[in-house]
Chains A and B, each alone.
Chain A
């Protein structure tokens, strides 16, 4: 069935380091892909999205490119800050199935000064 697989955390980085969080998916059809972020004690917020192959989503210095050939949507940021410490969720919506998000397990990121 349709699913999302993320790299296990926690990911621990120093401030200004480069970040990559891997995400791969399995889906029939052509899903839309998302990254959501959850800060401590809060609900999830949409970080970025891409709706078709080769699209790049970007927001707040984060980027992810929809790669159909590798079924991937890896999250990257060139220089992380302490304030980026959070849990990051990769997700997809099913083609033809309205709005039903399927989430990965989440990856916790801890950034130290």
Chain B
């Protein structure tokens, strides 16, 4: 079975540009999570969804960040406009409703 799929794996963009990260969770999983990982701040939960509905977005750093889950098999995390301090690895994870989360390989974002 395919795991969590994220695209792109690497993204390099210039400051001010819009960035869209994509995630396909494991089929049948009801929960989807977006995390950000940096050296300075470690692993931070940005937002999570249950049955496509955002449950907790308290970790979203500011209004430049938005996340959507239009259906059970797809989610996006958008940054507009992007800034150099947004450079990080962004992970998507999904869960079937147990206490275990399954992580994707991550998207490494570099904002110049």
Contacts and interface: CB of A to CB of B under 8 A. Distances in A.
Interface of B: 4, 31, 33, 42-43, 45, 48, 50, 56, 91, 93, 95, 99-106
A43 interface: yes
Contacts of A105: 42
Contact of B106 (A32, A43, A51, A103): A43
Contacts of B95: 99
Given A99-B31, A106-B42, A43 B100 contact: no
Contacts of A46: 100-102
Interface residues of A, number: 20
Contact of A43 (B48, B50, B99, B104): B104
B52 to A, nearest CB: 15
B104 A49 contact: no
